[in-house]
Structure 1
Amino acid sequence: MGALEAKLIQSFSFIAILTNILLAYLIISRSRKEMGNYRYLILAFTLVGLHFTLLNLILVPFVDIYKHAFVFYPVGELREWPNLMQYAFSYWHANYGSVAFILVLQFAYRYGSLVNQKLLRYFCLPKIGYVLGLGLLNASIWFMVFFLSRYHLEDQKEYLRDRVMEVSGFPVDGLLMVGNLYVVINDRGEEVYYLPAVILGFLPVALLISALILMVYFTYKIQRALNASAMSVRTKKNAARTFCRACYTSLLPSRP
């Protein structure tokens, strides 16, 4: 990654920060009371997005996929503080997982509002505590997976030495790297799968896939409810198009 790409990431992150601040202000000051608890979901999504883009601005994360490795490392000015960056990068990933979790909650709320209103009990006190607990567990798993991944990558930096120098120009010595490296090099110089790394790498993937499945499921149930309703065909099509667009947008990769 060159200096130009790093500056672009920082520029887009700065724009995203301003946009999220404006959106949070509009939600707090202009949202209607009829939105109920849904506005708090939107506000939570906005605040998590604000954290995420702020960390993007500070870390300038670079993602690299190479053979059996899927790693992240900072290319910003703070890359020389690896111990601090380990916590910051892990928190960055926890925010990413929280974005997916809140998206699922948004789809669940829509499903509860339109199809099964019993589900809305979990968005009010005291049962909202269970939902918040699940969200904290989800974020903690993301945090710990990437926090612990550093130690395996530290032991296997030779695997990525030439690659990192080629794509970023940084020496791997002293460079913080987190992510997934599924193999180790044995005494005979062979690549063999490393079970702890495979398990750690599977956890966030499983959480993401579960989130996507739930969003698709809620969208499907809403679609069925719309088809069975007494609304006009045109209204049904417009509503279905809106929900499908929301689902598709949620499946897109997160951008700074």
Structure 2
Amino acid sequence: MSWEGIQNVVQLYSALLAIPLNLLLIFLIVCRSPKEIGTYKYLMIYISVFEIIYAIIDVVVSPFAHSYGSTFLVIVNMKKTKLSSWIIRILLSAYCGFYGSSMAVFGLHFVFRYFVATGSKLLKTFNSWMIIIWFSIPVLIGFTWSILTYWPCAKREATDRYIKNNILETFNLNLDQIEYISPYFYEIGENGTLTIYWPSFVGIGVNFCIINTSIFIIVYFGYKCYKILNSILPESRKSEKNRRLQNQLYIALVTQTLIPVILMHIPVSTLYFCSFFSLNLGSASGIAPLTIALYPVLDPLPTMFIIGQYRHSLYRGLCWIKTVFFRQKQHNTDDIEMSERNRSDL
């Protein structure tokens, strides 16, 4: 199987796992959340819906990555899709937008956790129609990322000329058989002159500022929450129970945030870095789509297993399935024994 094929298989099976896992988590949030979670459950559902949509786009687009010289490409093999080129271009831009807004989604969660820890008056905005404004922030960031990724990084003549032979040699694909997004930083002209393509620098630079701002918000408010949670002394059994829940929510959120940092942003940042310095990664760049595909599969797991109420519900559900399975198995065994006994009596 080709490297491209391996990436596509991982994307398919990751989506098939990510969708039911996130739906299960939504069920736990809606039906098994303790009352103390309050409005935060809407933010938790928001993440799960985000990851379901991301997984669907990932498997529909099925992009694969390739690094070559002063650029890297996010490629879609048009021979493997029945969708038209303009739809694939839109979905590919949306795919990049979801990547760009992933940290903003978690940044929003840390801001909320800080408001809870400090008892801020702004917490009331999450209990009213203004929660729509909060939810729209990652959407706007994702839209900005999509535009700034597509506009300076879309297919164009200079990039086509630079990558044409390499794509044909590496993947046996002509340029009319692919759609791609590619930040081409240093253009080589027809006479061999080297020119900086500033739109790529500006677009990618703004996108990096957006990502780093989201990461700063996560680190800043995450550290503030950590200090506050460790300074609170429980005054009663009820407050101890609430403190334990808040700690579980905080640990689950930190773990959830580390997953996209490790699986998404470190691999993609490596691609940007290598392209900026014209370092050719070749097929090793395919690791990025593989790890990105794993993100929506792994991300719901910390919430399921760290928060006690959800963990106990899953355990009871597994015990019920086990009981039903063995009861059915025992019933079938009894029927066989009864049948054999009847035959022997005859």
TM-score, normalisation: structure 1: 0.85
Distance in 2, Cα, partners of 1:48 & 1:245:
17
In angstroms, what is the RMSD of aligned CA positions?
A: 2.9
Q: CA deviation at 1:174?
A: 4.3
Structure 2 partner of 1:222: 225
Equivalent position amino acid for 2:262 in 1? L
Query: Could you tell me whether the CA contact under 8 Å between 1:79 and 1:175 is conserved in 2?
Result: no
Count of aligned residue pairs for this structure pair: 253
1:147 is aligned to 2:150? yes
Unpaired segments ≥5 residues, structure 1: none
Unpaired segments ≥5 residues, structure 2: 235-242, 265-291, 294-346
Query: Could you tell me whether the CA contact under 8 Å between 1:6 and 1:75 is conserved in 2?
Result: no
Q: CA deviation at 1:105?
A: 0.9
Q: CA deviation at 1:190?
A: 2.7
Structure 1 partner of 2:37: 35
Equivalent position amino acid for 1:52 in 2? Y
Q: CA deviation at 1:229?
A: 3.1
Structure 2 partner of 1:134: 137
Residue by residue over 1:137-184, the C-alpha shift from the partner in whole angstroms, topping out at 9 and shown as x without a partner, is 212201212332454545421211233234433222342111322222
Structure 1 partner of 2:280: none
Structure 1 partner of 2:10: 8
Q: Among residues 104, 117, 121, which one is paired with 2:120 in the alignment?
A: 117
Once structures 1 and 2 are overlaid, which stretch shifts more, 44-53 or 173-182? 173-182
1:61 is aligned to 2:63? yes
Distance in 2, Cα, partners of 1:80 & 1:131:
34
Following superposition, which runs of at least 4 residues in structure 1 exceed 6 angstroms of deviation? none
Query: Could you tell me whether the CA contact under 8 Å between 2:115 and 2:123 is conserved in 1?
Result: yes
Say if 1:250 and 1:3 are closer, same or farther in 2 by CA, change over 3 A: closer
Distance in 2, Cα, partners of 1:49 & 1:246:
12
Equivalent position amino acid for 2:184 in 1? L
Q: Among residues 171, 176, 183, which one is paired with 2:174 in the alignment?
A: 171
Once structures 1 and 2 are overlaid, which stretch shifts more, 8-17 or 39-48? 8-17
Q: CA deviation at 1:127?
A: 3.4
Query: Could you tell me whether the CA contact under 8 Å between 1:9 and 1:60 is conserved in 2?
Result: yes
Q: CA deviation at 1:37?
A: 1.5
Query: Could you tell me whether the CA contact under 8 Å between 1:95 and 1:139 is conserved in 2?
Result: yes
1:51 is aligned to 2:61? no
Distance in 2, Cα, partners of 1:31 & 1:153:
51
Identity of matched residues, %: 19
Once structures 1 and 2 are overlaid, which stretch shifts more, 246-255 or 206-215? 246-255
Q: CA deviation at 1:41?
A: 0.7
Structure 2 partner of 1:207: 210
Residue by residue over 1:221-244, the C-alpha shift from the partner in whole angstroms, topping out at 9 and shown as x without a partner, is 12222343336xxx99x9499365
Say if 1:65 and 1:20 are closer, same or farther in 2 by CA, change over 3 A: same
Distance in 2, Cα, partners of 1:25 & 1:36:
16
Structure 2 partner of 1:93: 96
Q: CA deviation at 1:212?
A: 1.0
Greater per-residue helix proportion: 2
Structure 2 partner of 1:253: 263
Higher RCO (CA < 8 A, seq sep 6+)? 2
Q: CA deviation at 1:61?
A: 1.1
